[in-house]
Amino acid sequence: MEIDRSMLESASVKRLKSQLGAIVDEYLLHDGWGHMELDMKILARQQKEVVVKAGREYRYIIDFKNAAPIGKGSENK
């Protein structure tokens, strides 16, 4: 089963990736330490909520379609 990767090009995913990059840059330039958590959960209507915790909380809702169940995407036949 082929996974549709087109969701990775959506505006909401691009905003999420941009924010993650900005947080990593900020932590690298800071002369202390940092901690970041990323939580994802599946919502109704084929959506995922992504919460980035890094001093503040950043919430994103991502639309997705045919996500493969864990462990099913890499089966060899």
Measured CA to CA, the distance from residue 31 to residue 4 in angstroms comes to: 40
- Check whether 36 has a pLDDT greater than 60: yes
Predicted pLDDT at 77: 42
C-alpha to C-alpha distance for 11 and 72, rounded to whole angstroms = 27
pLDDT (average), residues 4-17: 90
What's this model's pTM, rounded to 2 decimal places?
A: 0.73
